[in-house]
Amino acid sequence: MKNAWWVGSSVGVLIAVGAVIGGGVWVNHSGFGLDHPEPMSVEMPEQLFSSAIDPDATEAPDFATLEKNLTSQAADSRLGTFVGVARDVESGEVVWEQNQGTAVRPASATKILTAAVALYELGREDTIKTEVVEGEQPGTVVIKAGGDVTLSEEMLDDLATQLGGQDIGTVLIDTSIWPDEGFASTWDPVDVDAGYIADVEPAMIEAARIGGSEGDLPRSHTPALDVAQALADRVGADTVDEGSAPDKAVLASVESDTLDQRLARMMKDSDNVMAEGIAKEVAASKDLATDSASTSKMTLEILKDKGFDLSGVSIVDNSGLSFDNLITPRLLDDILTRAATEPELSSLLTSLPIAHGTGTLEDRYDGLSGAGWVRAKTGTLTDTSALAGVVTSESGRVFTFAFVSNGSAIVPAREALDEMASILRDF
């Protein structure tokens, strides 16, 4: 029996209706154990970790029936050109597949690759420091951008407090840590005002959102300068500009959330800016170029070095916003299976939205058995819908899956994908 380390749909995660979401797993060195509490309990279950698969069971699971049901659902006309795969984590057996090695447009399911690479290279406890240093000229301070695209108003307040009492007339910002372009040639500039992307710079307030901290709000066209302006407003400075940070005393600093926390935010809203920022952070840590072409190449090289099959796969960004990305369901599922069996990637699973509970899945799965049990990354572009994640079945088995629909209307395809994942839950 395969050892697995998986933190699943999460211990004591509360959704809006006050329910505890079940289906989590934590497995130790001695064997495969599953967290299998009731999914809709209003109180925390007394026992969080219990075996969901009867160790004395001798009858082999009826994967043939499961395969038949999935094949039938895959033929649904709502899915257009459809490819996918589902795997039993305990045995490692592929229980269903349809052209799993065919590379198709994945949309934001691309973020699964980005998250895996970040966890491999940076580690789940990685944080980013933003510093303010003394400038060359009297009355000048320089923000030394460190790659944090999620600076908050509270963090800026903190910096201003630390600078209190100083006579500051000019605030500069140094963005040299990411010297290359921040807006890929394959992105549409209209998507900035639409709220999907921005020029990705190494210091941004709430991923450059204007007027809030969540969702697809319009994004700023000058995100780094906005940071400088926000600090200038707080300390009473009249001038803001770009500039180089000298090797002088650090006057103030703030630290980002951990990578785990940032990945959870990225997945929740499927935030393209955060995905690209995290990829640039990885590249900078390796002294590599930080343009999108280079960071996407880096992502694939790291995955190849980790032993993943990249046949047919090509990406030009790390968010999935580009229509030029091509990824196989096999690669998506392989990463998810690794996350279910390797401690290093386990937090990738806990970052995924919960069906009918959180993030991009909050308003989906109404009336479906997968509600509260499926955790998955969505993907949406014109004529493209994807769903890739993990689910604990009625029988206690854990399945990973990757389903991608191209050439389909978004809403009907989403409904069909949710029904397909619910078939795994019903097993």
Q: Residue 340's pLDDT is what?
A: 96
For tokens 């980002």, the residue is 256
Both tokens assigned to 210: 């204007």
Instruction: Tell me whether residue 351 is one of the annotated catalytic residues.
Output: no
Instruction: Tell me whether residue 2 is one of the annotated catalytic residues.
Output: no
Of the residues 9, 10, 111, 405, only one is catalytic, namely 111
Strand partners, 82: 405
CA angle 357, 364, 77 (to 5 degrees): 155
Q: Where are the domains of the chain?
A: 63-123+295-426, 129-256
Q: Residue 65's pLDDT is what?
A: 96
In 3D space, the residue among 81, 159, 118 whose CA is nearest the CA of residue 383 turns out to be: 81
Both tokens assigned to 397: 């088995």
Q: How far is Cα of residue 74 from the mean position of the Cα atoms in its chain?
A: 26
Of the residues 10, 220, 256, 270, only one is catalytic, namely 270
Query: Judging by beta carbons within 10 Å of its beta carbon (0-12, 13-18, 19+), is residue 311 exposed, middle or buried?
Result: exposed
pLDDT tens, residue order, the chain (427 aa): 333 333 333 322 222 222 333 333 322 222 223 343 344 333 333 322 233 555 555 567 899 999 999 999 999 999 999 999 999 999 999 999 999 999 999 999 999 999 999 999 999 999 999 999 999 999 999 999 999 999 999 999 999 999 998 999 999 999 999 999 999 999 999 999 999 999 999 999 999 999 999 889 999 999 999 999 999 999 999 999 999 999 999 999 999 999 999 999 999 999 999 999 999 999 999 999 999 999 999 999 999 999 999 999 999 999 999 999 999 999 999 999 999 999 999 999 999 999 999 999 999 999 999 999 999 999 999 999 999 999 999 999 999 999 999 999 999 999 999 999 999 999 9
For domain 63-123+295-426, the CATH superfamily is DD-peptidase/beta-lactamase superfamily (3.40.710.10)
CA distances from 71 to 74, 75, 99, 183, 322 (A): 5, 7, 12, 40, 30
- CATH 3.50.80.20, applies to 129-256: yes
**Residue 150 has what DSSP assignment?**
E
C-beta separation of 7 from 26 below 8 A: yes
Locate the DSSP E strands across 304-393. 374-381, 384-392
Q: Give the integer Cα–Cα distance in Å for 35 and 47.
A: 9
CA distances from 420 to 196, 201, 265, 412 (A): 28, 39, 26, 12
Of the residues 9, 108, 351, 393, only one is catalytic, namely 108
Query: Judging by beta carbons within 10 Å of its beta carbon (0-12, 13-18, 19+), is residue 262 exposed, middle or buried?
Result: buried
Instruction: Tell me whether residue 270 is one of the annotated catalytic residues.
Output: yes
| Gyration radius from the chain CA atoms | 23
Both tokens assigned to 164: 């209190």
> How many CA atoms within 13 Å lie on the side-chain side of 328?
18
